[in-house]
Amino acid sequence: MARLAISLLLISLLVLLAQAGDSVLGYTDTPTITGQTWKVHDSTRPHPRKVAPGRLLSSLPDPADAEILFDGHSLSKWQMKSRAGEFAAANWKVENGYVEIVSPQGMRWNMITKDKYGDCQVHLEWMIPAEVNGRGQAGGNSGVELMSRYEVQVLESYENVTYADGQAAALYGQHPPLVNVSPKKGEWNSYDIYFTAPRFDGDKLVKPAYVTVVHNGVLVHHHQEILGPAAHRRNAPYKAHAPEEPLSLQDHGHPVRYRNIWIRRL
């Protein structure tokens, strides 16, 4: 009888795992990432080890030459841009010194800077509210999209497990972070991003983009080569674009919060 109960329990667990689907834990039918041995969103790729965050960097004052993109009150430096290329006034919710993603139409509108940037240093802070309960990529998904296309992933990755190249601080679909510095939901994170834009000669890529990312004070990408624009389930090749493009915060349909956003041109 006990054996039967255990078998039934195991079967239900397997069914649950199967129902979880590839979109939560990754895929096995995607192409190999250019220059790597892993597949895009590879479900067998090891997850980086966890490191408890150090001190948040938000207590440091903004550098004197930083351009303040969000001071806790005004979205005057921002506008909305839809996947279809329409523009609208910035309309995410500003309260208590942060801006929270509001997406009534779900994953349609990103909030992008009105100004454009190439090589830059970006500081921002983000938080997944404690009420967010999705799994995998539905666990408080957003992203910092450099030049509106090279994504540093934002996601709850303290408890929530997803494919390694899609967890918090991953260069989405390309490189997992070196370590996982995610705090619990409801706690603020900081990103300090040092970005070198790609160089093009006409349509030809001359030099790829590189990025260094510090998550909660810990190095998670060290002058990492970006392989192309972030993409789901595929390798996206570089496509020539202007030397400066807007910084974009990704709407993935979840109420992620941002605060204290500044940028320095390099």
Residues that bind Mg ion (CB under 5 A): 141, 143, 250
Distances (CA, A) of 86 to 108, 109, 128, 143, 231: 10, 9, 27, 20, 21
**What whole-number distance in Å separates Cα of residue 92 and Cα of residue 247?**
16
**Please, which residue, 27 or 207, has the CB nearer to Mg ion?**
27
**Please, which residue, 157 or 250, has the CB nearer to Mg ion?**
250
**Please, which residue, 141 or 190, has the CB nearer to Mg ion?**
141
Of all residues in this chain, which one has the CB nearest to Mg ion in the complex?
143
Nearest distance from residue 250's CB to Mg ion, in Å?
A: 5
Return the residue matching tokens 């079967």: 11
Helix H or strand E encompassing 243? none
Nearest distance from residue 154's CB to Mg ion, in Å?
A: 6
DSSP 153: E
**Please, which residue, 235 or 250, has the CB nearer to Mg ion?**
250
**Please, which residue, 55 or 159, has the CB nearer to Mg ion?**
159
Nearest distance from residue 110's CB to Mg ion, in Å?
A: 10
Nearest distance from residue 157's CB to Mg ion, in Å?
A: 12
Nearest distance from residue 170's CB to Mg ion, in Å?
A: 9
Helix H or strand E encompassing 192? strand 189-196
Residues 6+ apart with CB under 8 A from 170: 152, 153, 164, 176, 177
* Number of CB atoms found within 10 A of residue 35's CB: 9
